[in-house]
């Protein structure tokens, strides 16, 4: 049992049992990938999906980039340099990159929501892909997320979360704006797929999906406290309340996302 209590042990264990894959988190990209396609994965995080991408497109080159050096360190610990011959990770901000017509596919999954100026990021992504190549962006509309009978402490946290994001100049509805952003980046033949993900307590992937938000309280919640958008006591209360809600037999979470596939002319 960990210091946070036995209830969280089960949640953590379930999250581990249901690993992140392209199939359960980015099916549109999964359908696109073929052996021989070079891929730049923007905002790769700890590299879980990037590693799968590299195996699917082998022998073509794959680069996972993230603006957070800690994420790159985690990615390289999980997949040390040279372990997968066609894969490398590096720390960098796509807005400051100078890739030019080098990649068959440039992907950003749930990344633009954390970038204050996503238009600049998408323009850089469009410049990085070869003529005729694809830009794939997947992101969420935070304004339309929903939880059944949410505890008051969680509702307070989520309202503060949206306000904090606005103060950071982050677009809470970026998923809804992806088509326009792609147009502004000069991309064409845009195909949009709306995804409504509903997970219920009895679903096998419920703890993985809902657990992301518990992690948000742990991680981003501390940044919110530091920025004055939330008291530490409120963050802790939200963590306990949401953890308890996750174990309710009637718990249901709904998240709306959009995936765009666009081509560089």
Cβ burial, residue 265 (10 Å; 0-12/13-18/19+): exposed
CA 61 – CA 87 distance, rounded (Å): 6
In whole angstroms, give the CA distance from residue 168 to residue 260.
24
- Residues facing residue 88 across a β-bridge: 63
Contact 230, 221 (CB under 8 A): yes
- Quick check: 154 and 147 in contact, CB under 8 A? yes
State the pTM of this model.
0.90
For residue 7, the model assigns a pLDDT of 38
Does pLDDT of 5 surpass 80?
A: no
Give pLDDT tens digits for 100-128.
999 999 999 999 999 999 999 999 999 99
189-237 pLDDT per residue, tens: 999 999 999 999 999 889 889 999 999 999 999 999 999 999 999 999 9
3 state DSSP class of 235: helix
Spatial distance between the Cα atoms of 98 and 127, rounded to a whole number of angstroms:
8
Cβ-count burial 130-168 (b if 16+ within 10 Å, e if not): eeebbbbbbbbbbeebebeebbebbebbbebbeebbeee
The 10s digit of each residue's pLDDT in 68-95 is 999 999 999 999 999 999 999 999 999 9
* pLDDT over 70 at 62, yes or no: yes
254 beta partners: 146, 198
Domain ranges of the chain: 6-32+93-263
Looking at the chain, the whole-number percentage of residues with pLDDT higher than 70 is 93
**What number of CA atoms fall less than 13 Å from residue 13's CA on the CB side?**
7
Which residues, 6+ apart, have CB-to-CB distance to 251 below 8 Å?
Answer: 147, 148, 200, 201, 206, 210, 245
In the predicted structure, residue 12 carries a pLDDT above the cut 90: no
How high is the mean pLDDT of the chain?
92
Level-2 CATH architecture, domain 6-32+93-263: 3-Layer(aba) Sandwich (3.40)
**Residue 112 burial by Cβ neighbours in a 10 Å radius (0-12, 13-18, 19+):** buried
Helix (H, G, I), strand (E, B) or coil at 109: strand
pLDDT recorded at residue 204: 87
| Lowest-pLDDT range of 3-7, 130-134, 225-229 | 3-7
Continuous segment of H or E residues that includes residue 252: strand 252-263
Determine the 3-state secondary structure of 63 from DSSP: strand
- Tens of pLDDT, residue by residue over 16-26, are 334 789 998 99
Task: Kindly indicate the confidence band of residue 179, based on its pLDDT and cuts at 50, 70 and 90.
Answer: very high
């Amino acid at each position: 049992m960990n210091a946070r209590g036995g209830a969280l042990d089960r949640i953590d264990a379930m999250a581990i049992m249901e690993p992140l894959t392209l199939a359960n988190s980015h099916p549109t990209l999964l359908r696109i990938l073929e052996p021989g396609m070079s891929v730049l994965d923007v905002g790769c995080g700890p590299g879980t999906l990037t590693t799968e991408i590299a195996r699917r497109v082998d022998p073509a080159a794959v680069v996972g980039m993230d603006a957070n050096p800690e994420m790159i360190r985690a990615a390289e610990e999980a997949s040390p340099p040279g372990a997968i011959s066609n894969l490398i990770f590096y720390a960098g901000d796509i807005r400051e990159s100078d890739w030019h017509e080098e990649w068959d596919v440039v992907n950003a999954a749930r990344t633009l929501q954390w970038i204050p100026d996503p238009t600049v990021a998408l323009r850089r992504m469009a410049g990085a892909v070869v003529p005729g190549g694809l830009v794939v962006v997947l992101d969420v509309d935070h304004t339309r997320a929903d939880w059944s009978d949410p505890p008051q402490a969680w509702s307070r946290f989520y309202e503060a979360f949206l306000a904090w994001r606005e103060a950071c100049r982050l677009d809470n509805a970026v998923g809804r704006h992806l088509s326009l952003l792609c147009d502004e980046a000069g991309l064409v033949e845009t195909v949009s797929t709306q995804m409504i993900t509903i997970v219920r307590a009895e679903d096998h992937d419920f703890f993985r999906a809902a657990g992301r938000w518990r992690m948000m309280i742990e991680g981003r919640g501390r940044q919110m406290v530091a920025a004055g958008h939330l008291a530490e006591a409120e963050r802790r209360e939200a963590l306990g309340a949401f953890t308890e809600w996750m174990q309710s037999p009637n718990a249901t979470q709904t998240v709306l996302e959009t995936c765009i596939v666009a081509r560089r002319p």
